[in-house]
Structure 1
Amino acid sequence: MLRGWVRKQFAAAYERVLRHELSGAPEHVAVIQDGNRRYARERGDDPSDGHRAGAQTTEDVLDWCAELGVAELTLYAFSTENFDRPPEERERLFDLLERKLTEFADAERVHDQEVRIRAIGETSRLPERVRDAVDYAERRTAGYDGFTLNIALAYGGRAELLGAARDVARAVEAGDLSPEDVDVATIERRLHDDPVRDVDLIVRTGGDERTSNFLPWHANGNEAAVFFCTPYWPEFSKVDFLRAIRTYESREASWQRAKAERALALVRAFGSVELREARAVLSRLREYVPDGVDVDVEGEESASAE
């Protein structure tokens, strides 16, 4: 009991230190919620118990995002690979998704904070009851813009890009789109019905250090910061979340510093080239310069007194 109290006190103190270190927050955080099953297995529980425990962490993260000013959160709730899980586990996960989507859509805080809920992925592959819950949540929150919660369901990064590429190819073949007109905006319009912000930070729990093709266009294309941590998703704490934000801020500061250094080096390089060119021109025109006039290629010309 004493050990637990000490641990809580330490966590609270560490949380205050982290909050003091942070100066802002990323706009869009994407989370790979890994470790629910391992969490349950290590406790001798059923996998569905792990998923339920993870659902509570999801609610906590929503509160932390609101507190820190994060504008958009994307949760990797069900990947296309999850369809390969045992049927019984899959059905229990579908039951949980259906219930939580409905609860979120009806939650008072969702409406108080004007949270917009939307699903991304191949939702047509989901059972009808889950699709109905998705539709209910999206309709109930469609008019909100205070915070965006994207729930990735039946989602796969490669499938997402492949679908967009096929849409573009069909439009070109039909003559509705010229190949020369295909640009970044063209692809983005075909990825999702509504725009998704570029991802600033990916968080993965559970110890694996990979991003599992999650939002490749919006994360890899934006060179998002990545934070890997060992706690399973049900164990993910506010301290872990703050450490992830700190990783993002450190990465941003390093990135901005590197960009400034590259820009400065480029300016210096151009300045050196221009200086050499000016000296070359001056040497060719030296004979035409009037006597008594001294020309400094790095400054202004001046008349010498005789």
Structure 2
Amino acid sequence: MREWLRRQFNGAYERMLRRELGSSPEHVAIIQDGNRRYARSHGDDAPDGHKKGAKTSERVLDWCDESGVEELTLYAFSTENFDRPQEELDPLFDLMEDKLYEFADADRVHESGVRICAIGETERLPPRLRDAVDYAEDRTSDYDNFRLNIALAYGGRAELLGAVRDVARDVESGALSPDDVTVDEVDERLCRQPARDVDLIIRTGGDERTSNFLPWHANGNEAAVYFCAPYWPEFSKVDFLRGLRTYESREKSWQRTRTERAVALVRSAAETELAEAKTVASRLREKLPSAGAEEVVAELERQGDAEAAD
């Protein structure tokens, strides 16, 4: 009975969230945290948590499709993760290898036109996993309906450092002028970058930090961030919709702020013009002959007062 009530409540809440949502973000990036803690809390080993988390990743693809999201980036493996014990890394690499082949051959991926891309220092991955990456990218390279980025051996600082060093080498060699160092020049040197800037970052597992994840594409775009408590295997559709709501609330707040700034700017300009008009009127009163001067001055002042009233 309790489980039935929970499902009914979640279903009703999900419908309410959907009614509240308007436009969706184009690019959602997710830090899939909590697989190991989930496994420990259920008396399992880390690989079991990663397997459960992989199921959640598959469901999120469906939720993105339903919500109109056009690009999804999943933080699957960071450069710091290489420090984990080898007995944990090998099963994790096996799982990612299997899932890449599975995704690349899945009918729904081809029917939906999903393009799979890996971002990060993929050359550091085991050869068998690099082969799986190449296979998935080659099989889906012609699609552009939806883009799925898998962040593998990824670290945001390392990515930015590599781009900066590349720019510095080109400037030193004379291939690039310092005056030509632009956002686009840096962007082109990022390793296998996403197609779009990030609109929303979601992090599961309770930690409130973005962990060196896509600093150029997220922080530069001032992406909305949604932190939630559930471990990644427990992440639900309701949690996902809450994340979308966070993005939309941020966008509405931005729109209000931009509107308020625009109004303030117009008012400031109007006040300046009014002050200038009155200054001109005062000078005319002093310079013009008495005949007709008062009429001209009165008209200038009238126009200034009318602009201020608007």
Q: TM-score range by the shorter chain?
A: over 0.9
Q: Which has the higher helix share?
A: 2
SS at match of 2:229: coil
Kept in 2, the 8 Å contact 1:79–1:155? The answer is: yes
Distance 1:128 1:118, change over 3 A: same
Moved more, 275-284 or 48-57: 275-284
The residue number in structure 2 matching 1:249 is: 248
Separation (CA, whole Å) in 2 of partners of 1:292 and 1:273? 23
Please, what TM-score do these two structures have when normalized by structure 2?
A: 0.94
What letter matches 1:234 in structure 2? P
Kept in 2, the 8 Å contact 1:38–1:232? The answer is: yes
CA-to-aligned-CA distance 1:72-128 (integer Å, 9 cap, x gap) = 000000000100001110111100110001100000000000000000000000000
Residue of structure 1 aligned with 2:299, choices 295, 298, 302? 295
Confirm whether residue 279 of structure 1 aligns to residue 262 of structure 2. Answer: no
> How far apart are residue 196 of structure 1 and its match?
2.4
Moved more, 153-162 or 185-194: 185-194
> How far apart are residue 279 of structure 1 and its match?
1.1
Distance 1:147 1:280, change over 3 A: same
The residue number in structure 2 matching 1:134 is: 133
SS at match of 1:31: strand
Q: How many residues align?
A: 300
The residue number in structure 2 matching 1:6 is: 5
Separation (CA, whole Å) in 2 of partners of 1:21 and 1:183? 39
Separation (CA, whole Å) in 1 of partners of 2:128 and 2:273? 69
Moved more, 165-174 or 291-300: 291-300
The residue number in structure 1 matching 2:50 is: 51
Separation (CA, whole Å) in 2 of partners of 1:15 and 1:169? 50
Separation (CA, whole Å) in 2 of partners of 1:195 and 1:185? 14
> How far apart are residue 195 of structure 1 and its match?
5.2
> How far apart are residue 297 of structure 1 and its match?
3.2
> How far apart are residue 194 of structure 1 and its match?
5.6
SS at match of 1:295: helix
Distance 1:209 1:292, change over 3 A: closer
What letter matches 1:32 in structure 2? I
Confirm whether residue 26 of structure 1 aligns to residue 15 of structure 2. Answer: no
Kept in 1, the 8 Å contact 2:149–2:194? The answer is: no
Gaps of 5+ in 2: 305-310
> How far apart are residue 296 of structure 1 and its match?
3.2
Please, what TM-score do these two structures have when normalized by structure 1?
A: 0.95
> How far apart are residue 299 of structure 1 and its match?
1.8
What letter matches 1:252 in structure 2? E
Distance 1:42 1:193, change over 3 A: closer
> How far apart are residue 213 of structure 1 and its match?
1.4
Gaps of 5+ in 1: 301-306
Separation (CA, whole Å) in 2 of partners of 1:162 and 1:191? 9
Matches within 5 A, 1:34-49: 34-49=33-48
What letter matches 1:297 in structure 2? E
CA RMSD for the aligned pairs? 1.4
Kept in 1, the 8 Å contact 2:120–2:192? The answer is: no
Matches within 5 A, 1:207-286: 207-286=206-285
Distance 1:117 1:298, change over 3 A: farther
